[in-house]
């Protein structure tokens, strides 16, 4: 008989075996043709770096963002000529257009005269409650949503004085006050962001807000800086938020060209399993035990998988130490070494192949897996939640 453990094994036996917190349920808000909140996919957003009144330059950059997969785009409107360009821009792009307003509430009112899909306003620097109410009323009359953006760098003096500095409680209280003002006007088409360049502050602020409100949130680490550190910093800050089920739109704020923001956002969503749009490819690091040309195999496999929208885990391990176990845990896997590999599907070894045929063998098993799961894959006519939990490791599926 095994001696009683000094550890509380009962805690382990009662623990959740398939980890992951449910999505924080928020109300739905429609931004052009994109609906966020509820069980809708977390939308990826970016912002142009051009002068908005440079219509051709702005449209060119938006088209590049669209090509990369951007789903919402924001342009700044600090001057009358920027507001004047919004109609031309809107008619020539395919994704919802958001106007970004700071300091001058008159620019917000002017922008709302154009066919934008959402307005982003920072109430902390707009010049007072009455001006904020005017913008709210016009957005309500136009039937357009608004993002209330609270930033640590522009938090109102009264909250800095109350809490001592721009801490999470101060930022959340600021957001809640403006929500209540908007609600008093009968306006609820609201999205909220509570951003900071401090990872710890941002994480805790979003957690606090989610405890108190059901409005959808736009998440990001503001002023993250220059890649590659900015991507690492954004991932460090957004992963805890996403893993808590928080977030309805996302932006990775990078210095320079905004196009790389899109791939970074989708990578973070994929890694946290909050929006899986492609196969998850697992490969072991190079070490002294590696007995096949793994880099060549992975490069070829990535090329063959390009464009596939399948929530499948594929494990490619180049040694016999961890290989069989990892291969069994993936939907499709291979444990290889000494010129050959064992292919696993759904936890069972199905065949052996020589090293030269590993990629072909994996693609053949992937085709079988896809056929077996055809009735469960996300399709344009199926709601995202209906396809969640697909795969041996339960990667969540999101249509589109």
CATH topology of 29-271 equal to that of 280-387?
no
Q: Residue 288 to residues 212, 292, 319: CA-CA distances in angstroms?
A: 52, 11, 10
Note the pLDDT tens digit of each residue in 300-326: 999 999 888 888 889 888 766 666 666
Concatenated DSSP letters of 340-382: EEEEEETTEEEEEEEGGGHHHHHHHHHHHHHHHTTTTS--TTS
Contacts of 108 (CB under 8 A, 6+ apart): 77, 99, 101, 119, 121, 126, 135, 138
Q: Can you read off the two tokens belonging to residue 335? A: 């444990």
d(CA 332, CA 10): 33
Mean pLDDT value across the chain: 88
* Domain 29-271, second-level architecture: Alpha-Beta Barrel (3.20)
**Could you tell me which of 51, 89, 53 has the C-alpha nearest to residue 73?**
89
pLDDT, position 55: 96
* Domain 280-387, second-level architecture: 2-Layer Sandwich (3.30)
Label residue 82 by pLDDT band (50, 70, 90).
very high
Q: What is the mean pLDDT of residues 319-347?
A: 78
Q: What is the mean pLDDT of residues 271-293?
A: 78
**Could you tell me which of 239, 339, 331 has the C-alpha nearest to residue 280?**
331
Q: Given a cut of 70, is residue 84 above it in pLDDT? A: yes
pLDDT, position 1: 42
Label residue 11 by pLDDT band (50, 70, 90).
very high
Number of residues that this document lists for the chain:
400
pTM of the model: 0.89
Instruction: Give, to the nearest 10 degrees, the angle between helix 358-372 and helix 294-305.
Output: 40
Q: What does the domain layout of the chain look like in residue ranges?
A: 29-271, 280-387
- b/e code 230-261 from CB counts within 10 Å (16+ = b): bbebbbebbbbbbbbebbbbbbbbbeeebbbb
Please give the sequence-ordered ranges of beta strands (E in DSSP) within 190-304, or none if there are none: 190-195, 218-219, 249-250, 280-283
d(CA 399, CA 115): 28
pLDDT, position 152: 86
pLDDT, position 385: 39
CB atoms within 10 A of CB 79: 15
pLDDT, position 71: 97
Do β-strands 190-195 and 218-219 pair in parallel, antiparallel, or remain unpaired?
unpaired
Biggest CA–CA distance in the chain, Å, is 81
Q: Residue 328 to residues 279, 324, 340, 348, 350: CA-CA distances in angstroms?
A: 16, 6, 17, 6, 11
Label residue 234 by pLDDT band (50, 70, 90).
very high
Tally the C-alpha atoms within 13 A of residue 102's C-alpha that lie toward its C-beta. 9
CB atoms within 10 A of CB 351: 12
Please give the sequence-ordered ranges of beta strands (E in DSSP) within 253-362, or none if there are none: 280-283, 313-317, 332-337, 340-345, 348-354
Of 269 and 372, the one with more pLDDT: 269
Q: Can you read off the two tokens belonging to residue 289? A: 């035990």
Q: Which of 201-205, 324-328, 356-360 has the lowest mean pLDDT?
A: 324-328
Percent residues over pLDDT 70 in the chain:
89
Order of strands across the sheet that contains 348-354 = 280-283, 313-317, 332-337, 340-345, 348-354
**Could you tell me which of 81, 36, 34 has the C-alpha nearest to residue 249?**
36
**Could you tell me which of 307, 224, 291 has the C-alpha nearest to residue 264?**
224
Q: Given a cut of 80, is residue 132 above it in pLDDT? A: yes
d(CA 241, CA 312): 24
Q: Given a cut of 70, is residue 98 above it in pLDDT? A: yes
Q: Given a cut of 60, is residue 382 above it in pLDDT? A: no
């Amino acid at each position: 008989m095994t001696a009683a453990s000094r550890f509380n094994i009962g805690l382990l036996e009662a623990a959740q075996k398939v980890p992951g917190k449910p999505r924080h349920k928020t109300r739905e808000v429609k931004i052009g043709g994109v609906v966020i909140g509820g069980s809708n996919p977390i939308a990826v957003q970016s912002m142009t770096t051009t002068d908005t009144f440079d219509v051709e330059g702005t449209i060119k950059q938006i088209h590049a963002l669209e090509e990369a997969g951007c789903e919402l785009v924001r342009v700044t409107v600090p001057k009358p000529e920027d507001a004047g360009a919004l109609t031309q821009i809107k008619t020539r792009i395919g994704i919802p257009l958001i106007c970004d307003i700071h300091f001058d509430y008159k620019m917000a009112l002017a922008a709302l005269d154009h066919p934008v899909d959402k307005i982003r306003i920072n109430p902390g620097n707009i010049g007072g409650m009455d001006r904020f109410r005017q913008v709210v009323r016009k957005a309500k009359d136009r039937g357009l949503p608004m993002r209330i953006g609270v930033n640590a760098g522009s938090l109102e003096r009264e909250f800095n004085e109350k809490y001592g500095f721009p801490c999470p409680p101060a930022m959340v209280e600021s957001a809640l006050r403006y929500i209540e003002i908007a609600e008093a006007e009968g306006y609820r088409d609201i999205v909220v962001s509570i951003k900071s360049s401090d990872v710890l502050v941002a994480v805790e602020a979003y957690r606090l807000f989610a405890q108190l409100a059901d409005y959808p949130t736009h998440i990001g680490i503001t002023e993250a800086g220059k890649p590659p550190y900015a991507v690492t910093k954004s991932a460090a800050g957004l992963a805890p938020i996403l893993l808590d089920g928080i977030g309805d739109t996302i932006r990775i704020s990078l210095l320079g060209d905004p196009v790389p923001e899109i791939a970074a956002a989708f990578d973070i969503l994929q890694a946290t399993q909050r929006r899986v749009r492609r196969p998850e490819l697992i490969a072991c690091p190079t070490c002294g035990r590696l007995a096949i040309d793994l880099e060549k195999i992975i490069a070829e496999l990535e090329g063959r998988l390009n464009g596939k929208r399948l929530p499948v885990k594929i494990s490619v391990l180049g040694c016999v130490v961890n290989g069989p176990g990892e291969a069994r845990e993936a939907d499709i896997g291979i444990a290889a070494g000494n010129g050959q590999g064992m292919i696993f599907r759904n936890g069972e070894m199905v065949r052996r192949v020589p090293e030269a045929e590993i990629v072909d063998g994996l693609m053949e098993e992937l085709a079988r897996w896809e056929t077996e799961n055809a009735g469960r894959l996300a399709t344009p006519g199926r709601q995202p939640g209906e396809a969640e939990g697909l795969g041996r490791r339960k990667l969540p599926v999101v249509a589109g």
